[in-house]
């Protein structure tokens, strides 16, 4: 995973996701970001949400899942609507 750090205007190499994911959506939160849905290794749609942990560089699989599997998805945080 390649990460851009705007504070330092630099690109760093982060840890890989626990499994290959393609065509997922990335959603920025206050201090990190989420990888939402996407396609797995066999082009199967996913219902997973992974959170990047900036202090450790690790990925956390969230307990919350999407209501159905989705690939090639767009996602936004809509908690203020």
Which pLDDT score, from 0 to 100, does residue 76 have?
80
Strand partners, 50: 35, 61
**Longest CA span, the chain:** 38
- Look over the chain and give the mean of its residue pLDDT values, rounded to a whole number: 89
CA 25/CA 27 separation, integer angstroms: 7
Q: How confident is the model at residue 4 (pLDDT cuts 50, 70, 90)?
A: confident
Q: What mean pLDDT comes out for the span 28-46?
A: 92
Q: How many C-alpha atoms does 76 have within 13 Å on its Cβ side?
A: 4
Predicted TM-score of the model (pTM): 0.85
Report percent pLDDT > 70 for the chain. Answer: 98
Residue 29 near residue 78, CB atoms below 8 Å: no
Is pLDDT of 36 > 90? Answer: yes
Q: Output 56 or 78, whichever has higher pLDDT.
A: 56
Domain segments of the chain as ranges: 21-81
């Amino acid at each position: 995973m390649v990460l851009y750090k705007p504070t330092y205007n630099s690109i760093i190499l982060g840890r890989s996701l626990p499994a290959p994911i393609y065509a997922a959506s990335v959603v920025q939160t206050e201090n990190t970001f989420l990888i939402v849905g996407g396609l797995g290794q066999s082009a199967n749609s996913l219902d997973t949400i992974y959170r990047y942990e900036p202090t450790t560089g690790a990925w956390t699989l969230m307990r919350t899942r999407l209501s159905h599997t989705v690939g090639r998805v767009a996602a936004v945080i809509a908690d203020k609507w």
